[in-house]
Structure formats: structure tokens, C-alpha cells
Amino acid sequence: MNWLLTGAMVAGLLIAPAASPATWTVEAPGGGPAATVRLDEHGSPSVSVSRDGATVLDPSPLGLTTEQADLTTGLSLTGRSSRIVVEKYATTAGKRLKRMSVMKESRFRLTRGDSRLDLVVRAARDGVAYRYELPGAGAVVGEASAFAVPGGSTAWLAGHRRDYENPFIRYADVPAAEYQMPALFRAGRDYLLLAESALDGSYTGPRLVHDQSTYKIALWDARVPYTGGLVTPWRVMITGDLATVTESTLVDDLAPGSRIADPSWVRPGKVLWSWLAGGRPVQQSLERQKEFVDYAAQHGWPYVLVDAGWYDDPVTGERAWTDRTAEFTWIPQLVDYGRARGVGVMTWLRFSDFDSPDERVQRFGLLRQWGVKGVKLDFIDSEAQERLRWYDETLRDLADNRLMVNFHGSTVPKGINRTWPHVMTMEGVHGAEKSSNLTTSHLAALPYTRNQIGSMDYTPMAFQRGSRPTSDAHELALSVLFESGLQNLAGSLDAYRARPEAERFLDQVPAIWDETRLLSGTPAEHTVMARRSGDRWFIGAGVSGAARTLQVPAGFLRGRWLVEVTVDGAGGLVRQAHVVRGGPLAVQVAAEGGFAAIACRWRPGLTTCAR
């Protein structure tokens, strides 16, 4: 489109904004952070965030530029309204299944001539967020949104990649570069997590461009068309002490409600995943896959996942879904074998084989006909508007066929599980598949960064890999530390069998939770996390660096409890039993180590939490 000034735009340029700056405050109901919206003497909007009188975010620019108007300056406030937003909802995965959110919302109607921009700001006890709304049709060509993090803040950041698979690194002095969201900072006594919610095919993906202390939103697409109005994703600022930030569900709270009326067919759980136990040859062998089904059945694990290679053409070697796939695959036989033993089968798929409506209708329908429970879609590698629209359409088609999904080579969760409950997990992480450059400091940053915003398919338990940075007990603890609606466990059968205490713990640990608490931690240094399932608590701990004694707060356990702790011993994993009542529990952990524990209410004669 040519950059021509229409009559409306000329009028807009000639209209003067308010002569003096004006500010408005949006405060969370019942206490918490406050957002201050300011319109300066030039009509340029900004937002800052404070908590208990301390600045968390300095004044940061707002606004959009469209092909029709520059809505970053010359604006006037022509209307303002406020309301309280209260929502109760349930999820199929995450830190807790039952949620309630209470937020104060203020809408600011900003105009420039005939052009209008609504700024919607929400404040909750655990953070603030804003988004933009535009009427009519047009195209966004720029976003002024930026985050002015207070100087001297410590940062935990990952460099931007299209698949979000870079490690998180701690910075005292952040170099100029592009970074991904989520991004974590410590500003004074408070933590600040920058994130996004409700991204879909109506908009485009972001990255953070750092310059000095400002982190500016850069958009994937240079031009983002819209018709029938535009509602952008939420720019989210979660803030508070480290426990408040880590336990927050604000990203989900801001997302649209479920688009599936009856998600009763969505059943999270542990998945026996064989890729790191043998790669493509194991995926191409029905007999080897039956061995994994047998192990899952023996241990009560509900699923196995057959990964890349199962539908490579045995004649031509072509690595794509063809018209012959249904003829030569043995997946239906494996599904029948698993069904007879109470184990569901999931399959890996190439995104490119399901990128048209006809392919999805036919091929997802065939998978459902076979009895496949879910799919792992890989190599998506984009947040362009066109690819985000593919997510929207694919999620609908998967739901129509009652197929759960794990996205790999993907974006990260941005409230997607609330809107589409069959999204069980997503990769978007520098995970266990990496054969090098994995560090325990990266792992100790993930609960506060990537995994904070939603289920994460890190694929733990690769005990057989000598390159992993964790001790056995630390690796076992990842089943609790890392939340994932489908927890794809990556060990070989021999590695599990060589570690009976790991088997014992993994047979009991669930993949969904009623409650999550951060007991202690420092990003990139250590984490102690407790998650409740029913009447039992599961505790995971992992450290980066030297051996030490962890003092584990146990005040959340009311009364007397039996705590079974699995730690590294001289000859392998060992289990210790403790009876605690309120006071801290001291646990000695190895270098790069940790522990995994189960807590159940004590009664006379009780010696184990196992059921």
C-alpha cells in the first residue's frame, strides 16, 4: 500500500492532544501490583508498574502503527471505563487444575482524528497486562510496545530462536541482542517475568530486542493484516516475590476460555518415549515397540510414543506421508496390542505432512480410526501469522478427531491449554534431546522461565545418556520440577531396570496436579518444588554446583507426615524415610544433584507412602 495521507489522517495530524500530561492508575483488587498509564504532552502513551511503592517497570512506551495512522503519538483520551473481571475455570494440565482469577480492568479509548486505539489494562494480585483493540480493517506495520526494566536488574534470558530452543543464561549486564519471551528479571526486591498470552492467527509472534535497559517488542511479520477489528495478544508482566511469580497462572487467566465443550476424552499421563533409547531403528520395529508397551503395562504407565521413522516408506525410503502409508504401517497392530494391555499409542508426525485442510481431515481421521490417542507434531518453526493460523485450524481438526497433541519445533504455551484443552504439552525448550550444552544452571532456570508459562516437554529420565549434567536423583526430581500434561520419559528399559528406586518413584508420580508450591529456590542455582495430587505431595529438588545440605521448608504439611526421600547414594539411588511435623527437613544432596520425595499423612505403623 502506498503511504498516502488520507483526509482523515491529515485531520488527525492537526488535532492537538491534551496540553498537559495525564496519569491514571489501575490497581489489583485486594492488593498487588499497580499499573500507571500516562499520556504525555505529546499524546504518547506509556505504562509503568509498581508494587508496594517500589518500581518494577519504568515508564514504557505503548501504541501501534497501522497503514492508516500512527497511533503512538498525538493521541487524546476520549473515554475510559473500568470493571472487575472474575473467572472460574478448570484446565486439563498445568500447575493446578482448578483456577480462579480476579482482575481490575480499565479501558482507555484513545483517538487521533478519525482513528481509534483502545488500550485495555488489567491488574491482578500477581501481575498486570495490556493489549490493544482496533476497529475496522487494516494492517499493523509496527508496535511501539517496550519494557523499560529498571537499571541494575539481574536477568535470566534465552537468545531468540524460531523454535525457542536456546538455553537460559543469567546476566548482570545484558548484551544488546534479540531474546525470547518469557524473560525473567530481578528488579530490586521483586521479580518480573515478561510473557505473552492469547496469541493466535489474528496477529503475529514477538521477540524482545534489547538496547540498554529497554526491551522492545519486534514482530515476526512486517505487515499484519486484519479485518473485522483486531484484538492483539496480551503483553504480560508477572511480578512479586519468586514464589508468587513461579506459581502464577496469569498467562492462562488472560487467555480465552475453552473451545471444546466436552474435554472428557483428554487424559494426561506419563508416556514411555523410546527415541533417546534407540532412535529411528527402534521406531521402525514393531517388535521393539511391543517391548515398550509391555514395560508400560507392567508399570501402569498409560501411553507409549512412537517417534520419527515409523511412516518412512520401506520401499522408496521417502520420509513423508504418502498414499501408501496406511498400507505398510504396523501402527494399527501396535494399537491393538497396547489396547489389550491398557496402554494407549501416540505417534510422531511431520508438520509438513499436515499443512493443508484436506491432509488433516483425511490423515487425522485415519489415525482416529486406528485408535491412536494423540500426536506429536514437529518442525513447525515459525510464529508468522500464516503459521499461527495453521495452529488455529489444526487444533480444531485435532479436537474433531479427539486427538491430544504435543507440539515440537514450536512456539511456547501462551494460554493455549485453557483455550484448547487437548494441548498437553509443547517443546519450545533447550531440552534433553540436546547431546551437549545442557547445564544444571539452565535446568535450574526453567521452573521460573519457560515452564512458568505452561507445560514443557523437556523429556527427562534419559538415565542412559552419559552427557546429561544431572545426578540420578536430580534427573528423577525433574519428573516433579518440570510440569507437562504428557510427561514423555526418555529412559531406556535397561536404564530403568537398573534403578529400581527410580522405577518405584516414577510408577507413583502423576502428570497432573491439584496444587503447586515453590518451597525454595534461586533461578539458575537451585529449586525445591512441591506439587500435590489428591492427598499426597510430591517434592522435587535440583541444584547447580557443589554438594550441599538443603533445608526444605515443611510448614505447608500440617500435622505429622511421612516423607520418603530418594537421593544419590554411593552405589546408586537410595530411599530414606523421615517423619516430619512442621519443621524443616534437612537433605544432603550431591554435586549437580537433588532429590525426589513423596509425602503422605503419617499414622501409627505406616512405613511407606506407596499404594
* Active site members: 378, 433
CB 477 within 8 A of CB 540: yes
What is residue 393's three-state secondary structure?
helix
Cα-based distances in Å from 196 to 204, 234, 341? 12, 6, 42
Please choose, from the candidates 43, 503, 38, the residue with its C-alpha nearest in 3D space to the C-alpha of residue 295.
503
Cα-based distances in Å from 157 to 130, 153, 443, 485? 22, 12, 13, 25
CB 311 within 8 A of CB 329: yes
Please choose, from the candidates 387, 428, 423, the residue with its C-alpha nearest in 3D space to the C-alpha of residue 403.
423
CB 414 within 8 A of CB 212: no
End-to-end CA gap in the chain: 67
CB 290 within 8 A of CB 298: no
The pairing of strands 303-306 and 214-219 is unpaired
To which residue does cell 504518547 refer?
Answer: 44
d(CA 407, CA 456) in angstroms, rounded, equals 10
Return the amino acid letter for 230: L
CB 259 within 8 A of CB 460: no
Grid coordinates given for 449:
522461565
Q: Where are the alpha helices (DSSP H) in 431-524?
A: 440-443, 472-481, 493-497, 500-508
d(CA 195, CA 180) in angstroms, rounded, equals 9
Grid coordinates given for 589:
544432596
d(CA 483, CA 173) in angstroms, rounded, equals 30
Backbone angles phi, psi at 545, to 5 degrees: 110, -145
Q: What is the enclosing helix (H) or strand (E) of 339?
A: helix 331-339
Please choose, from the candidates 344, 456, 427, 357, the residue with its C-alpha nearest in 3D space to the C-alpha of residue 398.
357
Burial of 184 (0-12, 13-18, 19+ CB in 10 A): buried
CB 203 within 8 A of CB 214: no
As a whole number of Å, the CA-based R_g of the chain is: 25
d(CA 61, CA 46) in angstroms, rounded, equals 4
Cα-based distances in Å from 165 to 159, 160, 275, 375, 473? 9, 8, 18, 20, 25
Grid coordinates given for 135:
476497529
37 DSSP β-pair partners:
24, 47
Cα 458 to chain centroid, rounded: 11
Contacts of 262 (CB under 8 A, 6+ apart): none
To which residue does cell 534489547 refer?
Answer: 210
